[in-house]
A and B are shown apart, each in its own frame.
Chain A
């Protein structure tokens, strides 16, 4: 154990002298978080995200009214009047609204009768985020309607009179969902631009930060010091443990410093400190495991750096570190394979006021990811050092 610590201490000393860990692990993500928060300041007035929508209600039915009531109930949504589609298009063009929802004539009847319906969205092309939120809200509403329709169809198929469809629909819509995901409410997803940028940059760059550490096994092999380590009377597992410990420690220190610095200087709100600490530990562990696995697939430190950069950028994008990825899409489901997605999810839950209990799914997912990739990495590392 003391020998593993000696290896970890040596690696840490080398990383500190190299200064790259400081640059990649702190300076660059902190700087980018600051720049992004300034760039996105137009959607962040310091009191949280807000957007302006209009509803063109050509239907006048109960569902259209319900949708209007839903939008009115959201704190971050301001509603403008639009009497017609032309009116909504003019408002969007002039920047008076971020998006408008058009509910066509017969929408409520069509949906209630099982024929379906369509909500059209007119978005201000200059307001990407407003359009995204509008689509997300419409999709969420449509999902709820699908569930009601399915319930009614099931009831009728089971013998309920077809003429009672409207009453059944009302009953189904009043029934609480069996599973309620807080994240499906757009409000919980909306963080200040500063907080989102701080989280995104910290998550994105921690993979680069720990990669420096775990790649050092290849560097040791290339410069000949690995042979000298392996001739010393210590178990090869301690060599790997020392390397992993160094990478993990650098990652934890880097992320912790970013949490503190972005809180102090950029006013980022990371949320519950205990939850954040857990997310940092579990997230860094997953990052170390993934980067260690990638390092074992490479033949040289240079190749490992190339692989790691590619994987980190791709998974960082998929994981939503630069911009939110909708979880409702197929792509969104795929992103859950990326540890970055679970880290973003957990940190965002905390920043939106969540507790440790709320981030349990993220912690479990990261732990599973760490165990699976870490086990493969350790097995491959032993092959790498010929043991």
Chain B
């Protein structure tokens, strides 16, 4: 998934550095020793189920939440809840639709622009640019309360771009969004990366992390369980595919025969067939099918499943991503 020459090689300028982040709410440890970095033009995903600690982590990254331990720098400047300088480089898109429904789209943008010290022509120009980026120029003077859900989501993202940030933080921006709007949002995030923006993207959708992120941090119960490119994470599970055979006949003989094959790592027999864990399943598949047939079993269907981030999460935590 890593784009050519991406930050994964560690040669690009780092925009965000977070180390040893820790936050407890009373007795509950919400985030424990989480650290990661994001470079220019890199999209980093924090993947985990609801309640894993994603929002708490990005709240500390943005200086919204006092941390118990750890350090955060954005564009070389330390971030905390008291200093304001580093926040000039951060664009934040919260999970909620953080817009004023009684203001127009343009008024929302102008208001938040002023908070970033934009004024006069510069403010007007930037507001127009953002309206174009989020494709809301023709509805700019309508109150946002009259916008569709997708339009509100787009404006929500646009507000995060107003200050020309170096780091764009998106907290589950597609939650509750229809498929069409979701696709549009994902397309926008891909363009931000192409434009050199460092993007921190939290999600509990495995498909989004796989599509958008150069690197992914798998987070659960406040801990960063693993981190890397999709390929690196999948390799943790092992480059092994799952092959499911629906078959009849002498399944016991078939099981014994395929177990002897070199690419086959494991076999389990069930009533309707066999489940195999196989290295490089696509090349080994003809040999497997021939062996099963020679052992006296008839195969009706074959299903090959390549490992994905869902499998990685399952491997690391012992539970499904959507639990």
The reply to whether B84 and A386 form a contact with Cβ atoms under 8 Å apart is no
Q: Known interface pairs A231-B87, A235-B84, A386-B66. Does A2 touch B99 (Cβ–Cβ under 8 Å)?
A: no
Q: Are A10 and B64 in contact (CB under 8 A)?
A: no
Q: Are B103 and A386 in contact (CB under 8 A)?
A: no
B114 pairs with A6, CB closer than 8 A: yes
Contacting pair A233 B64 (CB below 8 A): no
Q: Which of A14, A225, A230, A234 contacts B64 (CB 8 A)?
A: A230
* A13 and B88 contacting across the interface, CB-CB below 8 Å: no
Evaluate whether A387 and B102 lie within 8 angstroms (CB atoms) in the complex, with A13-B107, A228-B94 already known: no
Q: Which residues of A contact B62 (CB under 8 A)?
A: 231
- CB-defined interface of B95-110 with A at 8 Å, one 1/0 digit per residue? 1111110110001000
The answer on a CB contact under 8 Å between A233 and B103 is no
Kindly identify which residue among A10, A223, A227, A234 contacts B103, using a CB–CB cutoff of 8 Å.
Answer: A10
B100 to chain A: which residues have CB within 8 Å?
10, 14, 223, 225
**Known pairs A6-B115, A14-B100, A14-B103; A231 contacts B92 (CB<8 A):** yes
A181 within 8 A of B: no
B115 touches A229 (CB 8 A): yes
Given A386-B64, A386-B66, are A228 and B111 also a contact pair (CB < 8 Å)? no
Count the A residues whose beta carbon is within 8 Å of the partner chain — how many?
A: 23
A58-89 vs B: 1/0 string, CB under 8 Å? Answer: 00000000000000000000000000000000
B205 within 8 A of A: no
Interface residue A159 (Cβ < 8 Å from any Cβ of B): no
* Complex interface residues of chain B between 109 and 125 (CB less than 8 A to chain A): 111-112, 114-117
Complex Cα–Cα for A3 and B107 (A): 15
A6 touches B111 (CB 8 A): yes
User: Within 8 Å of chain B (Cβ to Cβ): is A115?
Assistant: no
Tell me whether A224 and B98 are in contact (CB under 8 A). Answer: yes
Contact assessment for A224 and B94 in the assembled complex, using a CB-CB cutoff below 8 Å: yes
Distance in angstroms between the alpha carbons of A17 and B104 in the assembled complex: 12
Give 1 or 0 for each of B68-85: 1 = CB within 8 Å of chain A CB: 000000000000011011
Q: Is the CB of A233 within 8 A of B114?
A: no
Does A94 touch B at the CB level, under 8 Å? no
- Shortest CB–CB separation between residue B24 and chain A, in angstroms? 15
Q: For A3, A228, A230, which residue has the most chain B Cβ atoms within 10 angstroms?
A: A228
Q: A386-B64, A386-B65, A386-B81 are in contact. Are A227 and B98 (CB under 8 A)?
A: yes
In A201-227, which residues have CB < 8 Å from any B CB?
A: 223-225, 227
Q: Is there contact, CB below 8 Å, between B98 and A225?
A: yes
A228 with B103: CB separation less than 8 A: no
> In the assembled complex, how far is the CB of residue A230 from the closest CB belonging to chain B, in whole angstroms?
6
A228 and B92 contacting across the interface, CB-CB below 8 Å: yes
Residues of A within 8 A of B115 (CB): 3, 6-7, 229, 232-234
Rounded to whole angstroms, the CA-CA distance of A256 and B70 in the bound complex is 52
Nearest neighbor of A228 in chain B, beta-carbon distance: B98
Q: Does A18 contact B (CB under 8 A)?
A: yes
Residues A13 and B94 in contact in the complex (CB < 8 Å), given A230-B64, A232-B115: no
Contact in complex: A223, B96 (CB < 8 Å): yes
Is B66 a contact partner of A232 (Cβ separation < 8 A)?
Answer: no
Q: Check B159–A231 contact: CB distance below 8 A.
A: no
Q: Does B251 contact A (CB under 8 A)?
A: no
Q: Is the CB of A13 within 8 A of B103?
A: yes
Complex formed: what's the CA distance from A103 to B189 in Å? 91
Query: B98 touches which one: A6, A7, A17, A223 (CB < 8 A)?
Result: A223
Complex Cα spacing A235 to B96, Å: 23
Interface assignment of B217: CB less than 8 Å from any CB of chain A:
no
**Whole-angstrom distance from the CB of B98 to the nearest CB of chain A?**
4
Partner of A17, one of B66, B102, B116: B102
New contact pairs (5) apart from A3-B114, A227-B94, A233-B85, CB-CB < 8 Å: A13-B107, A14-B103, A223-B97, A224-B94, A227-B59
7 smallest beta-carbon distances between A and B, as pairs: A224-B96, A224-B98, A233-B84, A232-B115, A6-B114, A231-B92, A228-B98
Taking Cβ atoms with an 8 Å cutoff, the residues of B that contact A are: 59, 62-66, 81-82, 84-85, 87-88, 90, 92, 94-100, 102-103, 107, 111-112, 114-117, 159
| 5 residue pairs bridging A and B, Cβ less than 8 Å apart | A2-B114, A231-B62, A232-B112, A232-B116, A387-B82
